Amino acid sequence: MLLSKKNKGRWSEDLALKYFEKFEFQLVCRNQRIAGVEVDLLFRRRKVLHLVEVKYCSWAQVDVQILSQRQLHRLHRALEQLVAGGHQVRGWLAVVTADQKVQVFENFGHS
């Protein structure tokens, strides 16, 4: 697949969005800044907000190490802002592979 970095990001977010909507997650916002951090997807399911970081990966074997410590720190900052606003929050990593598979990890979050 020959897509620009921006197009890979948008394509990956579209696939992740469809994945979460299958499980009755309702989109709140997309590519929104929270605490100075761009959040790829933010969903609501029941009374919980779900922050989703989306990554494209060209290989099939994926794990949560795809996120750097710096990225995790920034995502935690966004989660903490939502918690401070009185929300229950979960953080997810959705990795989209070149063969259009979505792998989801709940790798960071607050209750």
Listing DSSP states for 65-88 in one string gives: GGS-HHHHHHHHHHHHHHHHTT-E
Residue 72 or 16, more confident: 16
Query: 86 phi and psi, to 5 degrees?
Result: 90, 15
Say how many domains are in the chain.
Answer: 1
Q: Name the residue range of residue 80's domain.
A: 5-109
Q: How confident is the model at residue 109 (pLDDT cuts 50, 70, 90)?
A: very low
30-34, 69-73, 103-107, range with the lowest pLDDT:
103-107
Using the predicted structure, report yes or no on whether residue 93 has a pLDDT greater than 80. yes
Q: In angstroms, how far is CA 39 from the centroid of its own chain? A: 7
Check which CATH number belongs to the domain holding 13 and give it: 3.40.1350.10
What tokens appear for 45 in the block?
């399911």
Residue 24 to residue 67: CA distance in whole angstroms: 26
Return all residues near 22 (Cβ < 8 A) that are at least 6 apart: none
State pTM to two decimals. Answer: 0.88
